[in-house]
Amino acid sequence: MAKQTSDRKVNIVFIGAGAVGCFYASRLHHPENSLHVSLVARSNYKAIEQSGVQLKTRTFGDYTFQPEAAYPSVQAAAGAEGGWDFIFVTTKALPDVSDDSEMITPLVGSKSCIVLIQNGVGVEEPFRKRFPQTPIVSAVTIVSAEQISPGVIRQNRWTRVSIGPFTDGLGKTGDTELERRGHQATEDLTRWWTDLGGIKDVEPHDEVGLQTVRWHKLCINAAMNPSAVLSGGRGNASMVTDPELRQHLAGVMHEIWDAAPKILGRPFPDSMARPERILKSTERNVGARPSMLLDWEAGRPMEVEVILGNPVRIARESGVEMPRLQTLYALVRSAQEMRKQALKGKL
Ligand SMILES: NC(=O)c1ccc[n+]([C@@H]2O[C@H](COP(=O)([O-])OP(=O)(O)OC[C@H]3O[C@@H](n4cnc5c(N)ncnc54)[C@H](OP(=O)(O)O)[C@@H]3O)[C@@H](O)[C@H]2O)c1
């Protein structure tokens, strides 16, 4: 298969030089094949500017990723020569804290494609609203990665990234040009990450197929993440081996499993693990602690809206209520708000 991209330089920028961003950026940067990847960093800008990104990976060994350029802000990246072909957003998805669609505005031009690698559902919506004519590629990863010190990323395991175009989430806009560009970008990224980046499980999907992957991952995230916080800080394996908690987790997973096909108009394929299988395999995942719990313990904002709030609202728009998810949403959101107020000395 041809690894060649094109004679034209492809300018790619990642906003959010954290665990996910740096890992996938490092697998896409191939200047010899016209792919030039830059990073917009924040707290780790100095480290990356000085020494690049140090990657310690289980899949590809240890290496240094020297981006084409590192920028300390979006504004600094805005004036780049040639503009940006691909703008990746790999921040934590926190629409209640910041509108990242507004943040990237100075980077978006007529040839740009936006790529979102984030957890949750409904993450594309603010971008679609702000940029109705810009192709969007939606991506879900199951990588396990973390930043262990500024500019040092450890990939613990897994590489799979599922990608697909996003127009309105259901592919019903009738905008054939937007669809065509989204499909083309999905194809290009699949080929580059696979042939050049060496990632063996890049999985392209059609629009509804990718949303199905998002809702399937939500079965895990919406069950495990808030429950880890509300159960007093338990890890995944610890929760599934407690009979009451296991019943609760299964209830949340089944609620999503039943709701998603009604929202998307397509059932989960047989190849996707059902709740019982997810729970069974989680028994072996000893030591794993959901990201929402890590964020809670570190006093950082949690991805409450995209993992809980959006699914409840999106389901409701389709006439589907999700009472278990709504309960988790109300409780975790309130816990976060109460802590914020307490820190401000207002309680
Ligand atoms: N890590 C995993 O294993 C994993 C697996 C699957 C999915 N995910 C999902 O992938 C997404 C990214 O997660 P992550 O683990 O990579 O998070 P992360 O390590 O916290 O990285 C996010 C990065 O975004 C940066 N950032 C945030 N706002 C910014 C801004 N306005 N300008 C510039 N940089 C900004 C942060 O900088 P600061 O350091 O300054 O805050 C941080 O470096 C999330 O949706 C997460 O749920 C993660």
Nearest atom, ligand 1, residue 23 CA: 16
Among 42, 97, 157, 224, the mutation site with the greatest number of ligand 1 atoms within 8 A of its Cβ is 42
Q: What is the torsion angle, in degrees rounded to the nearest 10, for the CA atoms of residue 18, residue 21, residue 24 and residue 30?
A: -110
pLDDT of residue 3 exceeding 60: no
Of 149, 159, 197, the residue nearest 37 (C-alpha): 197
Residues 6+ apart with CB under 8 A from 341: 347
Among 45, 201, 291, the mutation site with the greatest number of ligand 1 atoms within 8 A of its Cβ is 291
Residues 6+ apart with CB under 8 A from 345: none
Q: Where is pLDDT greater, at 285 or 184?
A: 184
What is the mean predicted confidence (pLDDT) over 174-183?
95
pLDDT category, 6, cuts 50, 70, 90?
Answer: low
pLDDT of residue 199 exceeding 90: yes
How far is 121 from 199, CA to CA, in rounded Å?
24
How far is 311 from 302, CA to CA, in rounded Å?
15
Tell me, what's the pLDDT at 347?
Answer: 58
Among 92, 102, 292, the mutation site with the greatest number of ligand 1 atoms within 8 A of its Cβ is 92
Tell me, what's the pLDDT at 1?
Answer: 39
Which region holds residue 265: left if phi is over 0, alpha if psi is between -120 and 50, else beta?
left
pLDDT category, 345, cuts 50, 70, 90?
Answer: confident
Phi, psi of 148 (to 5 degrees): -90, -20
Digit-coded pLDDT (tens) for 15-71? 999 999 999 999 999 999 999 999 999 999 999 999 999 999 999 999 999 999 999
Question: 10-205 and 210-343 share one CATH topology?
Answer: no
How far is 311 from 78, CA to CA, in rounded Å?
33
Digit-coded pLDDT (tens) for 58-87? 999 999 999 999 999 999 999 899 999 999
What is the mean predicted confidence (pLDDT) over 317-325?
98
Percent of the chain with pLDDT over 70: 97
Digit-coded pLDDT (tens) for 203-261? 999 999 999 999 999 999 999 999 999 999 999 999 999 999 999 999 999 999 999 99
Q: How many CB atoms lie within 10 A of CB 122?
A: 18
Tell me, what's the pLDDT at 346?
Answer: 65
What is the mean predicted confidence (pLDDT) over 138-156?
97
Q: Is 303:197 a contact under the CB 8 Å cutoff?
A: no
Pocket of ligand 1 (CB under 6 A): 15-21, 40, 42-44, 90-93, 103, 117-119, 141, 143-147, 291, 303
pLDDT category, 2, cuts 50, 70, 90?
Answer: very low
Tell me, what's the pLDDT at 5?
Answer: 59
Which region holds residue 169: left if phi is over 0, alpha if psi is between -120 and 50, else beta?
left
pLDDT of residue 4 exceeding 60: no
| Closest CA to ligand 1's atom 28 | 91
Tell me, what's the pLDDT at 343?
Answer: 87
Distances (CA, A) of 177 to 86, 132, 138, 184: 17, 12, 17, 10
Phi, psi of 133 (to 5 degrees): -105, 0
Digit-coded pLDDT (tens) for 111-127? 999 999 999 999 999 99
Fold of 10-205: Rossmann fold (3.40.50)
Distances (CA, A) of 182 to 123, 170, 242, 266: 16, 13, 44, 21
| Closest CA to ligand 1's atom 39 | 43
Tell me, what's the pLDDT at 20?
Answer: 98
| Closest CA to ligand 1's atom 25 | 16
Domain ranges of the chain: 10-205, 210-343
Mean pLDDT of the chain: 96
Fold of 210-343: N-(1-d-carboxylethyl)-l-norvaline Dehydrogenase; domain 2 (1.10.1040)
What is the distance in A from the centroid of ligand 1 to the CA of 228?
20
